[in-house]
Structure 1
Amino acid sequence: MPYRSFKILFSFFILFFSLGFSQTLSSNLDKTTLALGEVAVYKIQILDLDGKDVQIAPRNELLPFHFEMVNDSIAKQKDIYLRSVKFAIFQEGKFKIPEIEVKVGGKIFKTIPYEVEVINTAKKGDQINDIMKNKEVELNVKDYWDLYKFYVLVTLLIIAIIILIIGIIKWGRKSKSSPAVTTNETLKDLDKLKKKKYIENQNFRAFYVELMDITRRFITRQYQIPADVLLTDDLIDYMKNTNAISQENEKVVEDIFLRGDLVKFAKTIPSQELMTKDFDEIRDFVRRSTKDVEAEHLRSMNIPESQDNSNIRKF
């Protein structure tokens, strides 16, 4: 066989083998000149897939950002892959569809690039008419209410919530810190102390420690005196200098606190009768304090002192 005939036959064999056992990639653009907003179709087709996987840009991300996607459909079977992208462009000028890389199995293919020209078909001086003339509509109060009632109701709800929160903070705090409430809570603490039977068991040190702690907390809340941080001598001086507590009540606090310090430091041992007397005097002091504090408040407001202690619990 002559060499030339062999070469032709070999080339034909290579071409046949390539067509028979490799994939064929093709692309097509139906229009290269578009009017503003006109829809065009760009297609990619791959034949002879033989079930191989196709890797390409995801849906709606195939073309550059100037191209507004109208529809991006993908159809894939064992031997064929078809991608059809409908798009429009809303700017005048020339835009390029670049080479798009497609990976089929382990091979990479590239499409051919395209250039699209977008023109404005409207001529200068053309009159643009609305499909329907604008119609003026007069709105009444009900129409405005229907339009804005949601915003009005939300605003009123927010205002109501704010007022409610302020009221809870203001009146709740006032109620919890009122003289009667403070007195009743302290009387409850004294009642708990009595039930521990420190007096009957002659546990005098624990008795005076707790009695003085309860009294300090009470004076701090009821008279706004920092009794919980002051030493006994400093507390006595503070009460005398501020005149916040009546002389009768000052005397009770002074005597019991001085005696309590002596007991705590084991310098004296009180009798059971004396411990009972100190407990009763502190309880009476707590009860009297409410009337004193409220009377002072009424005097500051120039209101007659006609109220009593009927809202104080009796123990």
Structure 2
Amino acid sequence: MKKLTLLLFILLNLFGFSQTLSSKLDKETLALGEVGILRIQISNLQSKDVQSAPKNELLPFHFEEVKDSTSKKADTYDRIIEFAIFEEGNFTIPELEFKVNGRILKTIPYQIEVINTAQKGDQINDIMKNKEVNLDVQDYWQLYKWYILGALIVLALIFVIYQLIKYGKRRKDSPVVMTNQTLRELDQLKKKKYIETGNYRSFYVELIDISRNFITKQYKIPADVLLTDDLIDVMKMNNSISPENEKIIEEIFLRGDLVKFAKIFPDQENMQNDFDQLKTFVKRSSKDLEVEQLRTGV
């Protein structure tokens, strides 16, 4: 009898005093631009703090958050996110992490289908049949003469500007100039104190934007339009970036993607290390270009 009472007491402690996370998505099929609602609740909170992604930054990239409201009481935590998607297709809300007193709770993932309701067999009929009108050359000239003259003026301006740039501009895209410019951008990022305040999402968004712009201009790799996985593959095939520098970029970009989709919560040490590593990569880039020039015989 005593053993049974003790067992019941342990079970009550486990289930009666632990936090419970629940989530609910109001619709799994949305029209383009239609607002969906995701509700998240943590019960039996016992006045403990809840840590999660910042406001309007909980959902992945394709989800346009319309409203993100949080309500916390002594025993419950509620978060309601209203969102819309403006692309057709199937989208996923991944597991979302909430940290309660050091314990990580996760929501279940959701699949959402976004459809264009205007394509569901709608038929548009003209009120009356179109009337054909025969036009001669003079009529077309009267209709489009200002467009033609405007186009000729624009072409003339483009030609003049091209000639001015060709004979008057100074070279401003040398490796040294690009390196110094990127180092200044990194110093400006440092002054925003994202690392000290723990604003990891804004930190990685700006750090990766600086990295992509630098790689695009310094190495002539289209990093500004490639996805992370594709960029890593292009860098490895291109061979213009040294292996140690490739490793730095790969680690930073992969960690940035995890932060962007609320998969991890990096600490200050990781953020500072990624900042220092990228700065080192920028400073060493000129050596990469010297090796590339020797390899290609330029």
TM superposition score normalised by structure 1: 0.41
Highest Rg: 1 or 2?
A: 1
TM superposition score normalised by structure 2: 0.43
Higher RCO by CA contacts (8 Å cutoff, separation 6 or greater): 2
